[in-house]
Amino acid sequence: MLIKTDISSDFLNLFTKIFENESLEGGNRLNVFMLKISNNQFNYGNLSEELENALITYALSRHTCNELIEQKKFGNLASQAREKLRRAKSNTGELGELLLYCLLESHLHAPKLLTKLELKTASNEYVKGADGVHLLKIGDASYQMVFGESKLHGDLKSGIISAFESIKTMLDNDLDKMRYEVHLVNTNLLKETVSEDSYEILKKILIPSENDENLNLDNSFGVFLGFDISMSDDERRVSNAEFRTNISEKVKSSINKIVPTINELLKKNEFIGYNFYFYILPFSDLDKTRSEIINRLKK
């Protein structure tokens, strides 16, 4: 492994898998997870606790993390990571970005190269471009640079359309967004703490002037979509077992309705030749939940 992942597969224990690696148009993959349920509601407490830990390696470069650990400045790890987050009132996207990072590392096993939050120098600063960039090993000499795109939107269809529009913008040759993202990765490569041998291989994969003709690199997209799933008081007034069954079926129904839309978008010419890895997660009262989790992470 050239770069290790920081989020282990244990992160997935927070979820029930509704669909895993389900096939989509063009050989792309769909994963739908649902937070485990306690007392007829999603267990956001356990999620928040895990995200508090994940925020450190998401928001800070590996070099910074290792340096602070070596100096035994453990409190600084958490405080510097928290300082990067915007306040909950104006923070509509960073929860999705953090969840995408966790899922790409724990499920796809694609370690991060760079995250948008890592580049921020102030909590109110907005950094354009992909939410994160990860490296996925496909074979002995084949790799994918996975560009992250996350959307938290009450309506799942609107979130999907918005995500594809953002990716289309990134692929627009006139704007040259992809080249800019690759440049960011290259210029920040030295911030990653890797062995000298790994660093030389990474240069050959990622830096055009260093490319090895025997190595193949393609671009792909990791997409996280959070959406609202309603839970009325009447729906919650059933046994725990019945509620788990009902909410699982409700999520499945929502996804089955939206898969044709995803497949139609994937058929568009501008997306041919790219791999997509979708991660979808339902929330109850999305806006309130997002705000509460961000407030906890900020504290």
Q: State pLDDT tens for residues 92-147.
A: 678 999 999 999 999 999 998 887 676 654 344 334 567 888 999 998 889 998 99
Residue 10 covered by a domain: no
Range with the lowest mean pLDDT among 8-17, 20-29, 102-111, 203-212? 203-212
Residue-level pLDDT at 254: 97
Is residue 206 one of the residues assigned to a domain?
yes
Task: Concatenate the DSSP letters of all residues of 64-119 into one string.
Answer: HHHHHHHTT-HHHHHHHHHHHSPPGGG-SSHHHHHHHHHHHHHTS---EEEEHHHH
Instruction: Tell me, yes or no, whether 44 lies in a domain.
Output: yes
Distance CA 281, CA 227 (A): 7
Does residue 12 lie in a domain region?
A: no
| Confidence (pLDDT) at 125 | 39
Could you report the per-residue pLDDT of 276-290, keeping only the tens digit for each? Answer: 999 999 999 999 999
* pLDDT computed for residue 121 by the predictor: 45
Question: What does DSSP assign to residue 159?
Answer: H
Residue 92 has a pLDDT of 62
278: helix, coil or strand? strand
Distance CA 246, CA 235 (A): 8
pLDDT (average), residues 12-29: 97
* Backbone region of residue 176 per phi and psi (left: phi > 0; alpha: psi in -120 to 50; beta: other values): left
Please check whether residue 32 is in contact with residue 24, taking contact to mean a CB–CB distance below 8 angstroms.
no
Instruction: Determine, yes or no, domain membership for 267.
Output: yes
Q: Is residue 1 part of a domain?
A: no
Whether 53 is covered by a domain: the verdict is: yes
Kindly report the average pLDDT of the chain as a whole number: 86
Output the pTM of the full model: 0.90
- Residue 4, domain member (yes or no): no
Termini Cα distance of the chain: 34
- What range defines the domain where residue 200 resides? 18-298
Total domains present in the chain: 1
